[in-house]
Amino acid sequence: GQNIDQPTEMTATEGAIVQINCTYQTSGFNGLFWYQQHAGEAPTFLSYNVLDGLEEKGRFSSFLSRSKGYSYLLLKELQMKDSASYLCAVRPGRRALTFGSGTRLQVQP
């Protein structure tokens, strides 16, 4: 089966850095994805890791350790518009993405 865990809620201050962790246990692994979802909207793709290490994309970075079943999404220079849910998702083989329950991030002034 699939099990993906991430914190339910986090709060951070505008301009700061926040790290959202994700741990997973899946049968089969073919990549870990991070999506951003604003309330009432569909998810938008942020990042993808299939090999261990850090992938940087502007203010967003994502890290993966396959041996530990662990990933994190790092958001730098937080802006108010970054308030959203962040979804960790794993692709088990060639099947559909399996999503965690998401982390609701609230950015405060």
Non-local CB neighbours of 104 within 8 Å, separated by 6+ positions: 8, 9, 10, 84, 85
Q: Does 33 bind other proteins (CB under 8 A)?
A: yes
Q: Does 69 bind other proteins (CB under 8 A)?
A: no
Q: Does 24 bind other proteins (CB under 8 A)?
A: no
Write down the residue that tokens 């938008």 correspond to. 44
Nearer Cβ to other proteins, position 15 or 51? 51
What token pair was written down for 33?
A: 């994805």
Q: Does 65 bind other proteins (CB under 8 A)?
A: no
CA angle (95, 46, 8) in 5-degree steps: 80
**Segment near other proteins (CB under 8 A); pick from 20-28, 34-42, 55-63, 75-83:** 34-42
- How many Å apart are CA 42 and CA 85, to the nearest integer? 11
Q: Does 97 bind other proteins (CB under 8 A)?
A: yes
The interface with other proteins within residues 38-57 (CB under 8 A) comprises 40-45, 48, 50
- How many Å apart are CA 16 and CA 39, to the nearest integer? 22
Residues of the shown chain interacting with other proteins in the complex, contacts defined by CB under 8 A: 30-31, 33, 35, 40-45, 48, 50, 87, 94-102
